[in-house]
Amino acid sequence: MKFKRRMRYAAVVLGGALALAACNGPTADKPAASGAAPAGNTSGGNLHFAVVSHGSAGDAFWNVVKNGAEAAGKQLGVQVDYKADGDPGAQAKLVDNAIAQKVDGLVVSMANPDALKTSIQNAVKAGIPVVTINSGESRSAEFGAIAHVGQNETIAGEGAGKRLKDAGKTKLLCVIHEAGNIGQNQRCDGAKQAFGNVQTLQVDINNPTDAQSRIKGAVQADPSIDAVLALNSQVAAGAVTAIKGAGSKAQVATFDLNSDVVTAIKSGDILFAVDQQQYEQGYLPIVFLKLYKENANTVGGGQPVLTGPGFVDKANVDTVAPYANRGTR
């Protein structure tokens, strides 16, 4: 009987200890101590972050970034507002509007860093932590951002160029679809370093019919072009159609995924896609900003947090396909 009473007593004490540990453990909703985190809200439910990208309306790539940011906000109990404009001046105004709204954190893509410099620096001066994404890696720290999330575009371009060279291609057409986008020039420059014989073509992603016509005209004018590198999944679809219409034997490779690219890889119309896993470019900055606001955490140690490049081809496309179809790859 004494033994049973001791066991019951021990169970009560152990239960109380576990309950106390649960209340004080890392999952408890405990506010940060005074001075332990940067100025601003420390309650996740009250945090308000703005994401401002240079994406064009209906761009499948940026829709995945948006999905990532909104999913992170929902999971972390953070309000996330996503806005986009492909015009650098208009994008800068969106950043200015976010500052005026006194958001708690800002995520910005920097395809044209100089156009955004003043706005981003004004956000930093206002005490708003900034995480840059996708483009502008080399200018991120200069502008005062706490982190950059994306892929190194030169390295990604080199990887694409090497793969095309290894596939036996001899002349490459690299299609730039956004004028003034520093990242796209870096991709083509990287491809040239690894591949060698590279010609560039400027098109407008907002005019897909004209873009397709220009690609068709380029391969018709120069039959020695045996590879086309698109820098966007939507441009890639147009390139496939253009090459077939021109009767060219050139093969297409592309940056970025969507369900059409997945289908084209399976059918052999696209050799491979360079996957920078843009869902992470939306998701991770929301996590980083929340950690910064609530616990003064930073990531990267002054270096970018790389989300790519990865490569999707026939060998692994079946694994990735379900995620592309649901809008997370």
DSSP-assigned letters across all residues of 13-31: HHHHHHHHHHHHSTTS--P
Closest CA to 237 of 191, 172, 319, 175: 175
pLDDT, one tens digit for every residue, the chain (329 residues)? 433 344 343 443 334 443 333 333 333 333 333 333 454 444 445 999 999 999 987 788 999 999 999 999 999 999 999 999 999 999 999 999 999 999 999 999 999 999 999 999 999 999 999 999 999 999 999 999 999 999 999 999 999 999 999 999 999 999 999 988 999 999 999 999 999 999 999 999 989 999 999 999 999 999 999 999 999 999 999 999 999 999 999 999 999 998 899 999 999 999 999 999 999 999 999 999 999 999 999 999 989 999 999 999 999 999 999 999 999 99
DSSP 47: -
* d(C-alpha 270, C-alpha 285), whole Å: 31
pLDDT at 90: 98
Q: According to the model, what pLDDT value does residue 154 have?
A: 96
3-state secondary structure labels for all residues of 157-171: HHHHHHHHHHCCCCC
Q: Which amino acid is at 134?
A: N
pLDDT at 59: 84
CA 143 to chain centre: 19
Query: CA geometry: angle at 37 spanning 141 and 81, to 5°?
Result: 65
Structure tokens at 272: 């491979």
Q: Say whether 265 sits in a helix, a strand or coil.
A: helix
Beta strands in 65-197 (DSSP E): 79-84, 105-109, 130-133, 147-151, 172-176
- Give the per-residue pLDDT at 23: 38
Quote the pLDDT of residue 298.
96
Distance CA 2, CA 259 (A): 69
pLDDT of 45: 53
Q: Which of 6, 9, 61, 44 is nearest to 286 (CA)?
A: 44
Tokens 């050799």, residue located: 271
Dihedral of alpha carbons 46, 149, 146, 65, sign: negative
Cα–Cα nearest to 43, from 76, 69, 17, 5: 76
Residue 117 confidence (pLDDT): 98
- Residues with Cβ within 8 Å of 264's Cβ and at least 6 positions away in sequence, in order, are 236, 237, 240, 252, 270
pLDDT in the model for residue 135: 92
CB 193 within 8 A of CB 161: yes
Separation of first and last alpha carbons in the chain: 63
Q: Which two tokens stand for residue 49?
A: 């972050």
